[in-house]
């Protein structure tokens, strides 16, 4: 796992996916319940195309977008990895450069425990 320097108070988005809706809901439920994410958005199923071990693969996946803080991002990444069946799950962290103050504060409050 590679973590780039960021502020513990910084809001970040974590992008991932799940192979089916049931697992996507489970990952979302557990990470929010455990205070690792304030909110998780589950997108509509989408076709992902990628090379895996020299073969072009295509699979329908459920996109996941997690809202959390820099303080929780490491634990969130580990939790997603522990729940995910893929050998190499997509887990990307994107910094949030601005946001509505009340929403940013809400994310911080939800992940402060």
2 lies in some domain: no
> How far, in Å, CA of 110 to CA of 86, rounded?
28
- Alpha carbon distance 93, 90 (integer Å): 10
Per the CB < 8 A criterion, the answer to whether 92 and 17 are in contact is no
Q: What is the pLDDT of residues 57-107, one digit of tens each?
A: 999 999 999 999 999 999 999 999 999 999 999 999 999 999 999 999 999
Structure tokens at 112: 């402060």
pLDDT of residue 2: 47
Tell me the residue range of the domain where 77 lies. Answer: 11-110
Number of domains in the chain: 1
Q: Of 91, 78, 79, 86, give the one whose Cα is nearest residue 13.
A: 91
92 within some domain: yes
Asked if the structure places residue 4 within a domain, the reply is no
Average pLDDT over residues 9-38: 97
Residue 1 lies in a domain: no
CA distance 29 to 102: 23
Q: What pLDDT was estimated at residue 4?
A: 53
Residue 40, domain member (yes or no): yes
- 106, containing H or E segment: helix 101-110
Domain containing residue 30: CATH number? 3.30.70.120
- In this structure, is residue 93 part of a structural domain? yes
């Amino acid at each position: 796992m590679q973590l780039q320097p960021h502020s513990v108070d910084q809001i970040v988005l974590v992008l991932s996916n799940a192979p089916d809706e049931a697992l996507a809901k489970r990952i979302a439920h557990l990470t929010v319940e455990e205070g690792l994410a304030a909110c998780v958005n589950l997108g509509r199923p989408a076709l992902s195309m990628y090379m895996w071990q020299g073969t072009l693969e295509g699979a329908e996946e459920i996109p996941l977008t997690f809202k959390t803080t820099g303080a929780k991002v490491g634990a969130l990444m580990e939790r997603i990895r522990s729940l995910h069946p893929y050998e190499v799950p997509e887990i990307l962290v994107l910094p949030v450069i601005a946001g509505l103050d009340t929403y940013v504060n809400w994310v911080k409050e939800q992940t402060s425990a």
